[in-house]
Amino acid sequence: SLLHAQLQAAARTDPKTGLLNAAAWQREADTEIVRARRTGETLALLIVDIDHFKRVNDTYGHLVGDQVLIGVAATIRSQLRDYDVVGRFGGEEFVVLLPRADVTEARRVAERLRSRIGRMAVPADENMVTVTISAGVAIMSMHGDDLIELLAAADLALYRAKELGRDRICLPATPVPPARRPGPEAAPS
């Protein structure tokens, strides 16, 4: 039974960081979204990306890059509540689901992650490697109602953070509700 438990854990976790892998994270995130919808509670989603990670690998090698990934993952995990859902989404991207978090709480958590990861240092020969992160934040009901919509909104916000110079947190641009968009019937005559 120990081997069975080890195999189950291996199927759910990213071997490098120990966080949930993308598939396991998605299953848990879907469950949390259904629960939040049922209870009417708030929920936030963050996509966190290590800025210029390719430069770390190119300059210091992939073994140091792996240590940076491990350090970022550990820092993220240490800054979250036990019931927050965190996973490695791929490469240098991480995803975090924050049940019962509103926009203020989500920004606060994302900013804390940005600050703590920015102070993290990984030894590499005679150097200390530091990195920054950018993050996109999406809030359920405000930016989307299901996992795909929330991921898309957070991804757009992350792209905006990168465009604006990295090492920052962004939310999606607030869309204008359809009823307020000027249409042909609302145009002045």
- 92 labelled catalytic: yes
Question: Are 39 and 121 contacting, i.e. CB atoms less than 8 angstroms apart?
Answer: no
Q: Which residues contact 68 (CB under 8 A, 6 or more apart)?
A: 50, 53, 56, 122, 129, 131
E strand or H helix that includes residue 58? helix 53-60
- Burial (CB count within 10 angstroms: exposed 0-12, middle 13-18, buried 19+), residue 116: middle
107 C-beta neighbours (distance < 10 Å), count: 19
Question: Which one of 28, 32, 41, 92 is the catalytic residue?
Answer: 92
Which residues are known to be catalytic?
Answer: 92
